[in-house]
Amino acid sequence: MGKNDENRIKYLTQSETKNLFNAIKKSYTSHSLRDLAIFRIAYRCGLRVSEIPLIKLQDYNISKGELYCKRLKGSNNNTLRLDYKTKTVLDKYIAQNNITSTSEILFKSQKNAPISRQTLNYLMKKYCSLAGIEDESKHHFHTIKHTTAVHLAESDMDIKELQWWLGHKDVSNTEIYFQFTTKQQEKMYQKLDEKSEMV
């Protein structure tokens, strides 16, 4: 990421993220379960739009609730444990769609092909609109990856942990996310205040 990337990064707040998931749940379409599984996995694992179509059944360890994440753009692959809600949605989706072949792509289009980048971006726009997220610059699927990174930085995950979680080879790609967290800034000021009390 370049020096000016902080001006381009867009992410959803915690409340916007909840609203997005609720909008998908309430959409009641034939694909709402698939879409909820996609968005929950993308958010949990910090996946790019181009990485979602790569996920196969063999990448998912159902008993452990772990997903092997194949990362692109020179990032490191890793295995992440899904949270309870995401695992529950994914298990239900796999069962309902009778996905049994380990080599089978998990998320497909109506034409039975791997879901496309265009479809994922369309879904992001659709659900952001339904969720009342008015800032259209956030209506891109890649916003999910930025959202994951910022929320994890806000959760007190340190920079090396976040670097591993996102699969970044270069820690400079991870550092940028710590500039967005008010929690990090508050900690900085608290340290300064504690120092000043000693003088």
What digits encode the pLDDT tens for the residues 171-190? Answer: 999 988 887 666 666 776 77
Domain membership flag for residue 193: yes
Q: Identify the domain containing residue 103 by its residue range.
A: 10-198
Domain membership flag for residue 2: no
**Domain containing 154 — which CATH number?**
1.10.443.10
Domain membership flag for residue 5: no
CA angle 110, 137, 162 (to 5 degrees): 85
Task: Please determine, for residue 72, whether its predicted confidence score (pLDDT) is greater than 80.
Answer: yes
Give pLDDT tens digits for 24-57: 999 988 899 999 999 999 999 999 999 999 999 9
Domain membership flag for residue 3: no
Domain membership flag for residue 138: yes
The amino acid at 131: A
Domain membership flag for residue 158: yes
The pLDDT of residue 183: 66
% of the chain at pLDDT higher than 70: 89
Domain membership flag for residue 75: yes
Give me the chain's average pLDDT, please: 91
* The three-state (H, E, C) secondary structure of 97-146, written as one string: CCCCCCCCECCECCCCCECCHHHHHHHHHHHHHHCCCCCHHHCCCHHHHH
Domain membership flag for residue 131: yes
What distance, in Å, lies between the first and last C-alpha atoms of the chain?
39
Per the structure, the count of domains in the chain is 1
Mean pLDDT of 72-99: 97
Distance (Å, rounded) from C-alpha 150 to C-alpha 22?
20
The pLDDT of residue 199: 54
Give pLDDT tens digits for 116-149: 999 999 999 999 999 999 999 999 999 999 999 9
